[in-house]
Structure 1
Amino acid sequence: MPTSATMSPSLAARADQALAGLAPGYFALVMGTGIVSVGLRMVGADGAALVLLILAALVGIVLVVLYVLRWGRHPARMRADAKDPETAFGYFTIVAAASVVAVGLQQVGLGTASVVLLGIGAALWIVLGYVLPWQVLMARDGEPILARTNGSWFIWSVASQSLAVGLSGLEPSSSAYASLLGLFTVMAWSVGTILYLGIAVLVILRIVHFGITPRQFEPTYWVAMGALAIAVVAGAGIFAMDSVPMVDAARGLIGGTVVVFWCFALWLIPLLAGAGLWRHLIHRVPLRYTPSLWSIVFPLGMFAVASLRLGRVEHLPLVEGVGDVGLVVAVLAWVAVAVGLLMTLLRGLHGAKG
């Protein structure tokens, strides 16, 4: 009779199984950790901010290795994810993660490393921005697309805005470079804003026509709020950039939108929180760790950063106070999800040894 040891899959087999199922949006872990670090530095908690920035960078490196291994061992799974409307846009978390870490590096004076990361992020944004929508919309798998539209689609907008945030923080070395930088920064902000509007229409149509069940209301819907918040941060960054033709042409429009975006993001928070209660308390959907929970941490952290920045730029103490409270909430959310991740990893290791 086989023993429990022989019946249990080996550690290598379990690791390979986990690698095969690695979520396309797992870089949201880096995004959430990075933006909380940025927020903590804004309020003077430099030590904690540095720890989280280092952690975000290390986790990012580990995830890059894991994604490369997954491509080598399970290319069919990665291609399937890239065609699936419910998972494909999660790959844009790679772009956003690179940009958020780049912003953190700017805060600590590592400008060269920041430029390198933004360059990688921009290259991926261009490639993924054409390849993934083509795969989802043109290389169909035979199932309806609108019924499978979800909150992860907003990550496409977030990726664009994250580049705008990072680019707006660079210090150009010449007027020609400044003009080019201004052009790309405004373009990234504009593309992200238009994408948000289009995706919002699709998500609303999906809910109106097909409805949404408690289990379908996943944490990625919080990205709808986070995308607005990052547009505020990017817009404020562009507004503060040096005078160049493209920035001057867009400054008035962008400056007028950031307050509207912030207000709508604030309005969405009770709606999203209420939907979460509807999902978990009323309909008893189990609250357990999933990678998509990082899609709540990042929007909360980004809203806090947006509030702090908007409040300081526009001299709005109430908005800045909202940012202080929001940052506390974001830190608590980060701790809760991080504990969930650690417990999941420990259970997996224990199961493998058993």
Structure 2
Amino acid sequence: MSVASLYPGYFALVMATGICSAALREIGQPTASAVLLAIAVACFVVLTIALGWRLVRYPRQVLDDLSAPEKAFAFFTVVAACNVLASRLVADGHRATATVLAIVGAAVWLVLSYTIPVRLILGPRPRPILEGVNGTWFIWVVGTQSIAIAAAALDSPGTRYTYTAALIAVLMWSVGFVLYLIVATLLLTRLLLLKVRPQDLTPPYWVTMGATAITVFAAAQIIQMPEAPAVLAAGPVLAGLGLVLWAFGTWLIPMLIAFGLWRHVLRRVELEYGPALWSIVFPLGMYAMASMQLGTAARLPIVAGIGQDWTWLAVGAWGVVFAAMCVALTRSLLRRTQPETVGTP
């Protein structure tokens, strides 16, 4: 893999690692959580440098990706990575760093949230936009809800910021919820009207569940904030819809597994490492974290217990994909360093 062709959604690696770190911390595994946090920070730094270099050296490729409906929304992984990492760092007391990350994430969200839709709606259309609708579109929802989570995490009880943070969190949650409904409608329309090929059901389709999970997580975080006008006004709605979305996300899991079996078993698409696989790990980790937070906030011990057990599944998936990534990167590096063999007559 070269910087020129860097996958726009590669920051899902940071998202997945960060949320698995948070889930491990939640179930009382501080050492393992710290290890994953260190990996998440290192990966964030490397990917930020790579993306920055790509923006400077290969701006045309970046613009092409931003104009492609099947790729553009993957850039929202940058937003989610900043905010997932910020919320995890706050838990360890790194408030200043987390604040900077949250501000950067919000700024990137503002740019992408208006640039991408406007470009897709008003720009040239070599083919129907509906053909490009896929699971990556839900990363728009994930990025939006991640801002709500960061705002709730950075809350300072007893200060005027509490009211501002609560208002920001509630407003962003509301925007994210409506975006989920819009994207879900578009995706279902695409799946029902256009032919579905094996190459279409890529790992980012798991973000359909990941988007519900992060919406639940954000709702649980908000209703546990200190009392503020925005929280008092929206609290009952957030609690009710949080439970509804958790149930719907749980229902989605068997369907997503069925999609994977159809793609890899029945249609024999080879399963190999690709950066899009992190779009499976993140939803698994977020489902675990959302279940634990919802169970605590809504006093549902069964839901919380599901999240605790699910954490190990998410961490196991993280380990498998991380090992596959290391193997793939090692092989790619070896191919580049091996001298070309010159043929003999």
Q: TM-score, normalised by structure 1?
A: 0.93
* Aligned partner letter, 1:157: V
Tell me what 1:308 maps to.
Answer: 292
Contact 1:83/1:140 (8 A) holds in 2:
no
1:177 maps to 161
Question: What is the distance in 1 between the residues matched to 2:61 and 2:81?
Answer: 22
| Cross-structure match for 2:110 | 126
1:232 alignment partner in structure 2 = 216
Contact conserved, 2:216 with 2:294, CA < 8 A, in 1? yes
| Structure 1 position 174, deviation (Å) | 5.6
Residues 29-78 of structure 1: CA deviation (Å, up to 9, x unaligned): 00000000000000000011011111111110111110111111111000
1:37 pairs with one of 9, 21, 39: 21
Corresponding residue for residue 283 of structure 2: 299
Q: Which moved more, 1:185-194 or 1:173-182?
A: 173-182
Q: Distance in 2 between matches of 1:137 and 1:47?
A: 48
Q: Does the aligned pair in 1 maintain the 2:155–2:161 contact within 8 Å? A: no
Q: Within 5 Å, give how 1:179-198 maps onto structure 2.
A: 179-198=163-182
Shift of 1:119: 1.1
What residue number does 2:234 align with?
A: 250
5+ residue gaps, structure 1? 1-16
CA contact (8 A) 2:80 2:105 kept: yes
Q: 8 Å contact 2:223–2:297 — kept in the other structure?
A: no
1:64 is aligned to 2:44: no
* 21-30 or 237-246, larger mean C-alpha shift: 237-246
- 1:3 corresponds in structure 2 to none
Please report how far the alpha carbon of residue 137 of structure 1 lies from its aligned counterpart in structure 2 after TM superposition: 2.3
- Deviation string 1:18-37 (CA, Å, 9 cap, x unpaired) is 11110110000000000000
The answer (yes or no) to whether the contact 2:135–2:205 under 8 Å persists in 1 is yes
Q: Please give the secondary structure, in 2, of the residue aligned with 1:300.
A: helix
Q: How far off is 1:204 after superposition?
A: 0.3
1:97 to 81, 84, 91: 81
Give the Cα separation in 1 of the matches to 2:313 and 2:236: 32
Whole-Å separation in 2 of the counterparts to 1:281 and 1:300: 21
Q: Give the corresponding residue for 2:342.
A: none
Q: 280-289 or 210-219: which moved more?
A: 210-219
Distance (Å, rounded) in 2 between the aligned partners of 1:311 and 1:180: 26
What is the SS of the residue equivalent to 1:215?
helix
Q: How does 1:1-354 map to 2 (within 5 A)?
A: 18-172=2-156, 175-354=159-338
In structure 2, C-alpha distance between the alignment counterparts of 1:173 and 1:266, rounded to whole Å = 33
Q: Structure 2, unaligned stretches of length 5 or more? A: 339-345
Distance in 2, Cα, partners of 1:135 & 1:176: 38
Q: Is the 2:162–2:228 contact (alpha carbons within 8 Å) kept by the matching residues of 1?
A: yes
Answer yes or no: is the 8 Å Cα contact 2:155–2:165 preserved in 1: no
Q: Which amino acid aligns with 2:68?
A: D
Aligned amino acid, residue 129 of structure 2: I
Give 1:175 shift: 4.3
Contact 1:161 1:189 in 2 (8 A): yes
Instruction: Report what 1:13 is aligned to.
Output: none
TM-score (norm. length: structure 2):
0.95
Amino acid at match of 2:11: F
Question: Aligned pair count?
Answer: 338
